[in-house]
Each structure stands twice: as C-alpha cells, then as structure tokens.
C-alpha cells in the first residue's frame, strides 16, 4: 500500500437516476484520481513519481498496513508548490543600464519565461520615466505557450533641453558730440583769425574762417533744437513700441514685456491693453503707464510645452497696436539617473524587473 483513501459508505450516483452508498476500493480510487488532476493543474509536467511523492504527504494512520496514511489534499498540493511550483512566469530585461543624451532614445528588451507550463496572457506596463519622457512597451501584451520565452521592446523617449541664449544688451552706436565739434570749430576759427591778422594777404582765409564759424554755430543750434518755429501746448503720447526680454524662454519660465509711449503721459497715466495669441504664454489684460512716465513693464508667464511654440504678444493704445514675438521652448528631460520598473501582470500574478537610464 502507498496511500489510503476513504472507501466506506461513500454516497455517489446510482442507476435509475438515484443515489446510493457504496463500499470498496472502487470508491477510494476516484478520490486519488481527482487529487492527481489537481496536482497536474498546478504542474502540467508532473510525472508519476512526482505525483506519488506528493500524495505521500498524507495523514498518518494507526494501521501500518495503510502505507503513508490517508490521502490529505492540502499538504499534497502544498508539496508540489514547494517542490516544483505552480504555473507561473518570471520577467527580466536587458541591457541593465544605458546612458543617452537628453532627446535620445533608450531601448530595452523585456522577456517573460513560463514556469510549470504557464500559458496565460501577460500585460506589460512601464513606470518611473523621468519628466518630459515617455516609456512604452510593444507589444503591450504577450501570451505564453507554456514552454517558450516571449519578448517585447521597451522604448524610453526623452525630449531635448533647449538652451536659451543669455540676454545681451545691445551696444550703442558711437555718437558724435556736437559740443566737441563746436569747441574745435571755434578754436580753428581763432587760429585762422590770428594768422589772418599777421598776414594782410590772407583776406580769403579770413572769409573762409567766418563762413566756417557761421556753419558750426548753425549746426550746433540745429542739433540743440533751434529752428525757425516752435511747438506750444501738450503733446498727446502714442504707442511707440512693445518689447520682450528675453525673446526666447523655456516653458514654465517668465519674460518681461515693456510698452513705450512716444511722450510722457498726462495726469492720470495711460492704460495700454495687452493680449496673447496662445495659452502657452499669458499676460495681464492691461498695464498702466504712470503719470509723467513714458514706459511700463509687465510679466509674461509661460507653461510647459512639448515643442517650440511661437507666441505673439500684442499691445494697444488709442488706436495703435504693436506686437512682439516670444518663442516658448520645451524644457526637456532633466539630467540624472532614473530607474524604470517594467511589470508583467496576468490575473492575480504580477512580476517586475528594473532597468536604469542615465540622461546626460
């Protein structure tokens, strides 16, 4: 005897559509056959010696003629889980780590290997991707055949980081100081007059010097606002320009806008209306240029973008509208080392593996 099973007063189906109690090993054998079916359900590759070893985990009986004892399915099935394991799978990925620049792509291969005849569908997922990056698995699910390993491609796609050029103030073009011109002209005139007095034959030079003096004085007078007429009364300011500094920012950063009028504002100031043609950059609805001032600044706030986005900022005052352009660039994937977790899920089973990526 190897193992015993119940065989006395076993109620079962009986001919003529009825039930009856029975005795004998004919009723014991089905208990053991059903136990064997459960064992094979846990391990499809189980053979006769392995099944015999499993059912040997039985309840001891006082009669030594009953072999290993009475069939007990709980320890029998648990022994298969400990020895051979239930149908399952394991996952792995390669390579273990990669280094890429921001904007580059990292590729991995994830594998699912069946154990104990596992033949179910596994659905993949990927977590842990850095900001401004996406992680996908293709195909998103695989079905195992109980013996062969199935693979899928894992792709991490990052975004490049935009470098905003530093703001450089424009150089002023060299200007001619007309006061210096005047001083030099007068000095030249005095020298010419001195020589003309020493030399009576230099009347022509004297006339030339006088003409030069008249020209210099006229030039200086004109440059200082002199003329033949004057303007009286207040001058109404008009919108002269709208500028942005800097003109290119990463999404999420801000810029400063400046509106400039052609003249100082009268009492009460001047209200300039503002607008943006894109939600990627927002501005106040208006800005007030203070009394007596000619300009005012306003904030330009931007949001994160996935691609470079041109934005037009408009300013309007007393019928005049002017615009300035702002380029909002994607922030890109931050540098650093990140761990991706790739998970395969099938029913109530779930197994994960990890890989690393370094974004330069």
Is the pLDDT at 35 greater than 90, yes or no? yes
Which sequence spans correspond to the domains of the chain? 10-83, 88-161+335-359, 178-223, 239-329
Confidence band for 92, pLDDT divided at 50, 70 and 90: very high
Q: Do domains 88-161+335-359 and 239-329 have the same CATH topology?
A: yes
Sheet containing 309-317: give its strands across. 248-250, 320-329, 309-317, 270-276, 286-289
- Structure confidence at residue 30 (pLDDT): 94
- Structure confidence at residue 115 (pLDDT): 84
Cα dihedral across residues 54, 60, 65, 70: positive or negative: negative
Domain 239-329 = CATH 2.60.40.10: yes
- Tens-place pLDDT, residues 307-360: 789 999 999 999 999 999 999 988 778 889 999 999 999 887 889 999 999 999
CA distances to 93, 132, 157 from 137, rounded to whole Å, are 12, 17, 12
Q: Which of 63, 83, 67, 66 is nearest to 75 (CA)?
A: 83
d(Cα 301, Cα 64) in Å, to the nearest integer?
88
Please, which residues have CB within 8 angstroms of residue 328's CB and are 6 or more apart in sequence?
A: 249, 250, 251, 278, 280, 281, 302, 303, 305, 308, 309, 310, 311
Please, which residues have CB within 8 angstroms of residue 224's CB and are 6 or more apart in sequence?
A: 178
CATH topology of domain 88-161+335-359: Immunoglobulin-like (2.60.40)
Is the pLDDT at 15 greater than 50, yes or no? yes
Return the bridge partners of 21, or none: 11
pTM of the model: 0.45
- Do residues 227 and 218 lie in contact, with contact meaning Cβ atoms separated by under 8 Å? no
- Do residues 89 and 351 lie in contact, with contact meaning Cβ atoms separated by under 8 Å? yes
The half-sphere exposure of 256 on its side-chain side, counting CA atoms within 13 A, is 6
Is the pLDDT at 79 greater than 90, yes or no? no
d(Cα 261, Cα 322) in Å, to the nearest integer?
11
- Structure confidence at residue 169 (pLDDT): 44
- Do residues 291 and 266 lie in contact, with contact meaning Cβ atoms separated by under 8 Å? yes
- Tens-place pLDDT, residues 122-177: 999 999 998 888 999 999 999 999 889 999 999 999 988 766 555 444 444 444 55
d(Cα 41, Cα 56) in Å, to the nearest integer?
18
- Tens-place pLDDT, residues 273-285: 999 999 999 999 9
Q: What is the 3-state secondary structure (H, E, C) of the chain?
A: CCCECCCCCEEEEECCCEEEEECCHHHHHHHHHHHHHHHHHHCCCCCHHHHHHHHCCCECCCCHHHCCCECCHHHHHHHHHHHCCCCEEEEEEECCEEEECCCCEEEEEEEEEEECCCCCEEEEEEECCCCCEEEEEECCEEECCCCCCEEEEEEEEECCCCCCCCCCCCCCCCCCCHHHHHHHHHHHHHHHHHHHHHCCCCHHHHHHHHHHHHHHHHHHHHHCCCCCCCCCCCCCCCEEEEEEECCEEECCCEEEEEEEECCCCCCCCEEEEEEECCCCEECCCEEEECCCCCEEEEEEEECCCCCCEEEEEEEEECCEEEEEEEEEECCCCCCEEEEEEEEEEECCEEEEEEEEEEEC
- Residue with the larger pLDDT of the pair 131 and 233: 131
Is the pLDDT at 234 greater than 70, yes or no? no
Confidence band for 116, pLDDT divided at 50, 70 and 90: confident
What's the alpha-carbon Rg for the chain, to the nearest Å?
46
d(Cα 71, Cα 59) in Å, to the nearest integer?
6
Q: What's the whole-number mean pLDDT along residues 231-252?
A: 83
Q: Which of 175, 291, 313, 302 is nearest to 241 (CA)?
A: 313
Largest CA distance in the chain: 161
């Amino acid at each position: 005897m190897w193992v015993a099973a119940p065989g006395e007063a076993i109620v079962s189906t009986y001919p003529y559509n009825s039930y009856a109690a029975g005795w004998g090993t004919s009723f014991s054998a089905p208990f053991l056959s059903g136990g064997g079916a459960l064992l094979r359900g846990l391990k499809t590759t189980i053979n006769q010696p392995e099944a015999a070893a499993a059912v040997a985990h039985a309840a001891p009986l006082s009669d030594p003629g009953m072999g290993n004892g009475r069939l007990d399915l709980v320890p029998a099935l648990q022994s298969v889980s400990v020895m051979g394991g239930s149908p399952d799978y394991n996952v792995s990925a390669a390579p273990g780590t990669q280094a890429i620049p921001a904007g580059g792509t990292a590729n991995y291969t994830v594998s699912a290997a069946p154990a104990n005849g596992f033949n179910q569908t596994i659905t993949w997922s990927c977590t842990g991707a850095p900001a401004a990056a996406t992680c996908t698995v293709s195909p998103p699910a695989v079905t195992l055949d109980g013996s062969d390993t199935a693979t899928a491609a894992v792709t991490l796609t990052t975004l490049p980081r935009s470098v905003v050029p530093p703001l450089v103030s424009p150089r002023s073009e060299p200007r001619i100081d007309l006061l210096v011109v005047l001083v030099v002209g007068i000095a030249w005139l005095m020298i010419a007059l001195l020589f003309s007095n020493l030399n009576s034959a230099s009347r022509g030079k004297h006339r030339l010097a006088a003409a030069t003096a008249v020209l210099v004085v006229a030039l200086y007078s004109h440059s200082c606002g002199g003329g033949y007429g004057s303007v009286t009364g207040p001058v109404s300011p008009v919108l002269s320009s709208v500028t942005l500094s800097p003109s290119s920012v990463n999404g999420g950063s801000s810029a400063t806008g400046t509106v400039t009028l052609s003249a100082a504002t009268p009492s009460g100031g001047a209200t300039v209306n503002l607008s943006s043609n894109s939600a990627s950059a927002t501005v106040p609805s208006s800005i007030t240029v203070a009394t007596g001032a000619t300009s005012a600044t306003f904030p330009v706030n931007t949001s994160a973008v996935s691609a470079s986005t041109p934005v037009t900022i408009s300013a309007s005052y007393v019928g005049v509208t002017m615009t300035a352009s702002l380029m909002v660039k994607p922030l890109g994937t931050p540098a650093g080392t990140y761990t991706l977790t790739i998970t395969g899920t099938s029913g109530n089973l779930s197994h994960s593996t990890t890989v690393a990526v370094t974004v330069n």
